[in-house]
Amino acid sequence: MMKAQVNLSRILLCCLLWIAAAGGQNCGDTVRGPNGTIDSPGFPYGYPNYANCTWTIVTEERNRIQLAFQSFALEEDFDVLSVYDGQLRQENLRTRLTGFQLPSPIVSSGSVLTLWLISDYAVSAQGFRAVYEGK
């Protein structure tokens, strides 16, 4: 009975560690609707190392998207939030954001805006909170 419980808790611990390790790679979302909020994972207590998160914001046809940051803190130069005006493609890259300055608002030219967060193997910061709305 005791033995079985110990084994079970080991299995659970193993799974939780596995989920935590995968969590960094498996975050982000496709968000729709007229407005909303996007937080980096763990905001404001710090994002994981090895984060690789993509958020695709899709609003109604013919609308633009305005993205405004309410909070922004990423380990300067090593953890980067790239913003794409459209889908995540090199030619759509609008800006790469890093460091501790609140970025100015960004307005898309179409109905899709993509955010891509990459963090390296060490050092985290608060992360970011951004609100978006269709224009």
Residues that bind ligand NAG (CB under 6 A): 35-37, 52, 118
Nearer to ligand NAG, 9 or 25 (CB): 25
Give the other-Cβ count within 10 Å of 56's Cβ.
18
Nearer to ligand NAG, 8 or 21 (CB): 21
What is the C-alpha separation between 62 and 82, in angstroms, rounded?
A: 23
Beta carbon of residue 51, minimum distance to ligand NAG (angstroms, whole number): 9
Strand-pairing partners, residue 30, are: 56
Nearer to ligand NAG, 118 or 125 (CB): 118
What is the C-alpha separation between 53 and 55, in angstroms, rounded?
A: 7
Nearer to ligand NAG, 38 or 125 (CB): 38
Beta carbon of residue 130, minimum distance to ligand NAG (angstroms, whole number): 11
What is the C-alpha separation between 128 and 72, in angstroms, rounded?
A: 4
Give every strand in the sheet of 35-39, ordered side by side.
Answer: 35-39, 127-134, 65-73, 106-107
Beta carbon of residue 97, minimum distance to ligand NAG (angstroms, whole number): 17
Nearer to ligand NAG, 35 or 70 (CB): 35
User: In sequence order, which residues have a C-beta less than 8 Å from that of residue 109 and are 6 or more positions away?
Assistant: 64, 85, 86
Beta carbon of residue 54, minimum distance to ligand NAG (angstroms, whole number): 7
What is the C-alpha separation between 69 and 132, in angstroms, rounded?
A: 9
Beta carbon of residue 102, minimum distance to ligand NAG (angstroms, whole number): 18
